[in-house]
Structure 1
Amino acid sequence: MDELFRRGFVRSVGILTGGTAIGQAITVLMLPIITRFYSPEDFSLLAVYMALVAVFSVVGCLRYNIAIPLPENDCQGINVLALSLLASTVISLILAIPMLLMASGFAALLGQPGLETLLWMVPVGVWASSMYTGLQYWASRKKRFGLITKTLITRSLGGVSAQLGLGYFGSGAFGLLLGQTLNNSLGVFGLARSTLREDRAAIRQVSLKEMARNLKKFRRYPIYSVPEALCNTAGLQVPILIIASLAVGPEAGFVLLSMRVLGLPIRLIGGSVGQVYLSEAGEKLRQGDLPSFTRRTMATLAKVGIVPILLAGLISPFVFGPVFGDEWARAGVIVAWMTPWFFLQFVVSPVSMVLNVVNRQELAFLLQVVGLLLRVIAVLGAARFAPSMQAEVFAVTSAGFYCLYAFVVLSVSRTVTV
């Protein structure tokens, strides 16, 4: 196509996309079976669990993980990784205390009493997810995209197998949540084993002194990027928690299934492009090519994503019932409303880290605060005045937010100087 897809970039994206494709194919192909083993109410509990894990996982590494690919030498990089892993362990242990001791209160607050006996999985999922993220960024720094691909397949295969097996025996929501917890956990050991085997020289350079130095050097990430990412994740997950708590019936389960299906292109291509984009962004910034690199990436993503996402939005209202079961027809309607949102997210999310790369964390934070307030206020308003339209309002306001995000990213790209 153009220079974006020359040299190593296209190869790296291709490796990650191939692994993601296999992993997502496993998940999507099994969804019509899984939706017959589990009810929409079970999926509502899964939606709440995944929302909690997603929100707390953002804090897990204190966002030092996104700084791992940026240092010029591995001594700094491995010490930033050590900071990430230490933070994820400490924060997960702290989170376990209220989740275990006040489970009934949390479940009642969320409007999901059936979650009380399952909340112990939340700190486990947060620890596994944040540990995987830190190790994955290190593997990206070392250009081990093939290894990342293997872990993506392992995660999907293990998680889906557990959900199918437990669902067959009538486990209820427990099987869904345990399978998701395994999905979060399985890749950690493969990445850790590779790091211990391949990077012994770098690991020997880990020290408290170096960790403290990098703690200070990259302090803008926990100060600005943690609140920014927390608002970003909360803007997506808090409305789901509100819908689960206030909507009539298993609406959150329908929203979750809709997002899983329509989010396939983002997970398949967008996530891989974003991983490789960040691994290249530091060098592109030093070369003075970051603005055009960002614009070319967005343009190519728009060309790739428009057809499959639009097609999914058009046919979903007609096929969800026959494919997933008649009780899931409502999810197909929600997919149609979500189509503009997911197309814009597909184009913008992979390059959103440009704001961190150019040290505009405060702008990224402000943008995510706007997104959080916009969506939460809109969904709360819908819960009050149009209860049956909460999912639709969530979709429309999310599309508006990503329009704003695209404008900001392009504006910042035009003004970057080296």
Structure 2
Amino acid sequence: MPSKNTNEKRFASDVLTLVGGTGIAQIVAIAVSPILSRIYSPSDFGILALFVSLSGILGSIACLRYEMSIMLPDSKEEADTQLILSIIVALLFSTITAIIFLLFKNPILQLFNAQELGNYVYLIPLFIFLQGMFLSLNFWNSRNKKFKNMAHARISASLSKAGTQVGAGGIGYVSGISLIIGSLVGKIFSVITLVHSAFKKGVYVRQVNFRSIGAGIRRYKKFPLIDTWSTLLNSLSWQLPVLLLSAFFNSAIVGFYSLGFRLLQMPMSFIGSSISQVFYQRATESKNEGTLNVLVENVFRILVLIGLFPILILTLSGDAIFGVILGMEWVEAGIYVQILSIWGFIWFISSPLSTLYVVFEKQEFGLKFNTFNLITRALSLLIGGYLGDVYVALGLFAISGIFMYGYLCLKMLHYADVKNSTAAKIIFSSFKLFVPAALLLVVLRLFSDNLYLITGVAASLCITYYLYILKTDSQLQSLLEILPMVPDSMKKKK
């Protein structure tokens, strides 16, 4: 039997492999953004965003959540059956979607003000099927601990997507369709990588029959009947801004929002998910040991310490930073990020902590939260849309997000018996470090409109801040111990 240390090392290695693959993929995406933003227009990115939103919402339920069942069976044969079932369901789902688009293409395009998609809307069913394949194979590889294959799939997707999009633009095919084709190519490469590993290493297709598939459908029927709706609700909630901005405004505004929000979200999502992967496991242990409040308070502090300063820098200088990095045409995207940044920070700190409602078996709270979150987002965007003001739409969207995710964060702290006053002290302590930087940036912006100077100062302030806290904050060094992906050189020596 493997020792506890061996299991911990294996767990750390698995997490490091996945995080490494995700990290490389996101670095590629961020690095190529300044190139793509100078090749393609905001309208092109808007067309891509609408395509990805429509296909993403449907793609998230392409397998009717049967892909989740791949992890559950004791026997390999039953797991392989669930893999084949998931792929079959994805094929049927995408086929039905294709028929719907054939019959109702024009009304759908008119609803979302997306006539520019034209016949390329027929690629959405293909994307849905590929997403279903990806989800199914991803869970199968996870079950079989083939984490390197999963990492390779993410990297190959990012590289092939970026290469296709840059290459197409470089030879003169500059349109939103080229961005869509690039996304499809990336998805195809990721699926090919996972298919090769799955069938090379032994998916027993011959042992799968209609009887075993029927048994799998019946045994795991709660996934399509219950979990599908929760997943659809969550996916729709995240894609709602693109859909409603497209319906009320134009593809350029959608492009500004989509690229700006993506660049805001990617680093926060990467850091937050890295912490979440370990926090959930540690939270369960700490709850049983009676030390959960200490763990949650410490994790809350590290999230605030990492996220508050750069978010406030973006709030003051987002327009300049985006104009310099992406090109002056994208200053508007920076303004959108300035509007959304405070909400982004609160989402960043609440996201890892939100696993606590699962630890306390409060799943009904999660469903209620997702429902109200969707309603408030929709109302915010609808009000701004009917007023014809995108700033009002995004401002109300951000305010609703601040209240909703602020409530979520406070609720999770309450579950862990962490006082609101303690959380306030942590935030105020980090905010004090930002005050000198804020004064410098405000004075600079009053006396200079040089975006390059403003961006350079903002970057220097962020670098100085992180060097300072890494050197002086002993708790940060201790808290880094919960992250297996952190290099040993950054961890506190004992």
TM-score if structure 2 supplies the norm length?
A: 0.72
Quickly say closer, same or farther: Cα 1:319–1:266, change in 2 above 3 A: closer
1:123 aligned to 2:125?
yes
Q: Secondary structure at the match of 1:68?
A: helix
Q: Which residue of 2 aligns with 1:321?
A: 323
By how many angstroms is 1:46 displaced?
1.1
Once the two structures are superposed, the pairs formed by residues 240-255 of structure 1 within 5 Å of their partners are: 240-247=242-249, 250-255=252-257
1:382-417 CA-to-partner distances (Å, cap 9, x unmatched) read 222461321232233233333344456667789xxx
By how many angstroms is 1:39 displaced?
0.9
Contact 1:28 1:261 in 2 (8 A): yes
Q: CA RMSD in A?
A: 3.5
Whole-Å separation in 1 of the counterparts to 2:227 and 2:298: 23
1:37-81 CA-to-partner distances (Å, cap 9, x unmatched) read 111111111111111011111220112223433444434433333
Contact 2:113 2:250 in 1 (8 A): no
Whole-Å separation in 2 of the counterparts to 1:86 and 1:349: 33
Whole-Å separation in 2 of the counterparts to 1:78 and 1:290: 40
By how many angstroms is 1:273 displaced?
5.8
Contact 1:16 1:145 in 2 (8 A): yes
By how many angstroms is 1:266 displaced?
4.2
Q: Considering only CA atoms, is the larger Rg found in Structure 1 or Structure 2?
A: 2
Quickly say closer, same or farther: Cα 1:313–1:265, change in 2 above 3 A: farther
Q: Secondary structure at the match of 2:60?
A: helix
1:218 aligned to 2:224?
no
Aligned partner (choices 175, 181, 185) of residue 178 of structure 1? 181
Whole-Å separation in 1 of the counterparts to 2:379 and 2:8: 44
1:69-109 CA-to-partner distances (Å, cap 9, x unmatched) read 34444344333333322221110111111223433332222
1:145 aligned to 2:153?
no
Whole-Å separation in 2 of the counterparts to 1:296 and 1:332: 32
Q: Which residue of 1 aligns with 2:453?
A: none
1:95 aligned to 2:113?
no
Whole-Å separation in 1 of the counterparts to 2:224 and 2:26: 31
1:165 aligned to 2:161?
no
Structure 2 counterpart of 1:326, which letter?
Answer: M
By how many angstroms is 1:332 displaced?
0.9
1:332-355 CA-to-partner distances (Å, cap 9, x unmatched) read 122122223333434444676776
Whole-Å separation in 1 of the counterparts to 2:59 and 2:220: 19
Contact 1:298 1:348 in 2 (8 A): no
Q: Which moved more, 1:249-258 or 1:156-165?
A: 249-258
Aligned partner (choices 375, 391, 398) of residue 401 of structure 2? 398
Structure 2 counterpart of 1:241, which letter?
Answer: L
Whole-Å separation in 2 of the counterparts to 1:291 and 1:94: 51
Aligned partner (choices 245, 261, 264) of residue 263 of structure 2? 261
Q: Secondary structure at the match of 2:12?
A: helix
Structure 1 counterpart of 2:13, which letter?
Answer: R
Structure 2 counterpart of 1:392, which letter?
Answer: G
Quickly say closer, same or farther: Cα 1:271–1:97, change in 2 above 3 A: farther
Quickly say closer, same or farther: Cα 1:315–1:184, change in 2 above 3 A: farther
By how many angstroms is 1:363 displaced?
4.6
Once the two structures are superposed, the pairs formed by residues 199-348 of structure 1 within 5 Å of their partners are: 199-200=202-203, 206-247=208-249, 250-271=252-273, 299=300, 305-306=307-308, 309=311, 311-348=313-350
Contact 1:297 1:351 in 2 (8 A): no
Q: Which residue of 2 aligns with 1:34?
A: 36
Aligned partner (choices 193, 205, 216) of residue 190 of structure 1? 193
By how many angstroms is 1:152 displaced?
0.8
TM-score if structure 1 supplies the norm length?
A: 0.84
Whole-Å separation in 1 of the counterparts to 2:87 and 2:262: 28
Q: Which residue of 1 aligns with 2:70?
A: 68
- 4+ aligned runs moved over 6 Å, structure 1: 275-278, 287-291, 353-360, 410-414
Q: Secondary structure at the match of 1:120?
A: helix
Q: Which residue of 2 aligns with 1:15?
A: 17
Quickly say closer, same or farther: Cα 1:339–1:188, change in 2 above 3 A: same
By how many angstroms is 1:32 displaced?
1.1
Whole-Å separation in 2 of the counterparts to 1:211 and 1:74: 14
Whole-Å separation in 1 of the counterparts to 2:335 and 2:273: 25
Quickly say closer, same or farther: Cα 1:80–1:163, change in 2 above 3 A: same
Quickly say closer, same or farther: Cα 1:410–1:267, change in 2 above 3 A: same
